[in-house]
Amino acid sequence: MSAAWVPERTADGSWTLRQRELDEACHSSAGAWLESLERYAVPCRLKQVASRQERVRLLDVGTGLGLNIAAALHELEGCVGALDVVTLEIDRTVIEATLALATIGATHASEREHAVVRAALSTALDAASDGGAVALGANGTLRLLLGDARETLAQLPATLEAFDAVFLDPFSPRRAPELWSEAFLSDVARRMAPRAILSTYSAAFGVRRALAATGLRVGAGPRVGAKAEGTLASLTAELPALPERVTRRLRNRT
Ligand SMILES: C[S@@+](CC[C@H](N)C(=O)[O-])C[C@H]1O[C@@H](n2cnc3c(N)ncnc32)[C@H](O)[C@@H]1O
d(CA 20, CA 6): 7
d(CA 145, CA 151): 10
Whose Cα sits closest to atom 11 in ligand 1? 62
For the Cβ of 67 lying below 6 angstroms from any atom of ligand 1, the answer is yes
For the Cβ of 88 lying below 6 angstroms from any atom of ligand 1, the answer is yes
CATH number for position 215 = 3.40.50.150
User: Could you list the residue range(s) of the whole structural domain that residue 149 is in?
Assistant: 5-252
Per-residue pLDDT of 32-55, as tens digits, reads 999 999 999 999 999 999 999 999
Per-residue pLDDT of 172-227, as tens digits, reads 988 889 999 999 999 999 999 999 999 999 999 999 999 999 999 999 999 998 77
Tell me the three state secondary structure of residue 238. coil
Residue among 157, 166, 125 at smallest CA distance from 41: 166
Whose Cα sits closest to atom 24 in ligand 1? 62
Beta-carbon-side half-sphere exposure of residue 105 (alpha carbons within 13 Å): 27
**How many domains is the chain partitioned into structurally?**
1
Contact 49, 164 (CB under 8 A): yes
Per-residue pLDDT of 111-141, as tens digits, reads 899 999 999 999 999 876 577 899 999 889 9
Residue 150: CB atoms within 10 Å: 15
Tell me how far the alpha carbon of residue 207 is from its chain's centroid. 16
